[in-house]
Amino acid sequence: MANDSALFLGQFLRAPATIGAVAPSSRRLASAVCAPVPERGEPTVVELGPGTGPFTAEIQRRLDGRGQHLAVEVNEALAVLLAARFPAVDVVHADAAELCRLLADRGLSQADVVVSGLPWAAFPNELQCALLDAVTSAMGPAAAFTTFSYIHAIPLSSARRFRALLAERFEEVVPGRTVWRNAPPAFVFHARRPRF
C-alpha cells in the first residue's frame, strides 16, 4: 500500500471535487468511522467512496466473513484497485446516487450500515441532497450512517449546510471526537433513524 498516497494524490489532482482529499484516511479515522459495523449477525454494509480502502479494510476486519459488503466508487481507477485488493468485497464502479438500484440488483432490500468516505463539503447543495436522499432511501429504520468531515472545513458554508441536512434527515446525529492522527485531522458524524 506504499503507492496509495501517490495514486490518491494523482486522482485528486484529476478530479478534486469527487476525491476531496490529498491522502487516504488513517487507521484511526477508519476505526472511528466504522464503529457502527456490528460484530455479530449478517449485516448489509454499504461503503460510499472507499478510495484506496482504509475503511474497506476496517469493515472487512469487523465483518470477519459475515454479511454483505458493497463498496460504491465513482472513480474507475480506484474501483479497479479496490476490487483487486479486496476480492471478498462487492466493488462497483458507480455513482452513490444509484444506491437503491445497486442494492436491488443484488437482491438486497436495505442497508444496515452506510459508511461514507464522500467529500460532502466539496459538493453543491443539489448533490448533497440527492446523495442523502439515496442514502436514507436505502436504509432500514434502525440503520446507522457514518461519515466524517475535515476539521478545517467546519467554517465552510457547504459543510454547515451538510450538517443541517444531516439533522433534517436523521432523528439522531452525534458528532464524534476529533481524530488528530489523520492528515488532515477529522471528526466523525454518527447518524441513526432516518426520516423517510
Its pTM stands at 0.87
Looking at the structure of the chain, the number of domains it has is: 1
CA–CA gap between residue 117 and residue 121 (Å, rounded): 11
* 150 within a domain of the structure (yes/no): yes
- β-pair partners for 174: 190
* 189 within a domain of the structure (yes/no): yes
Residues in the chain: 196
Residue with cell 476486519: 61
CA–CA gap between residue 196 and residue 56 (Å, rounded): 28
* 122 within a domain of the structure (yes/no): yes
* 19 within a domain of the structure (yes/no): no
pLDDT exceeds 60 at position 2: no
* 95 within a domain of the structure (yes/no): yes
Q: Structural domain of residue 46, as residue ranges?
A: 27-194
- SS3 assignment, position 109: coil
CATH assignment of the domain containing 165: 3.40.50.150
* 125 within a domain of the structure (yes/no): yes
Under a CB-based contact definition with an 8 Å cutoff, are residues 193 and 171 in contact? yes
- SS3 assignment, position 46: strand
Give per-residue pLDDT as tens, 87-142: 999 999 999 999 999 999 999 999 999 999 999 999 999 999 999 999 999 999 99
* 156 within a domain of the structure (yes/no): yes
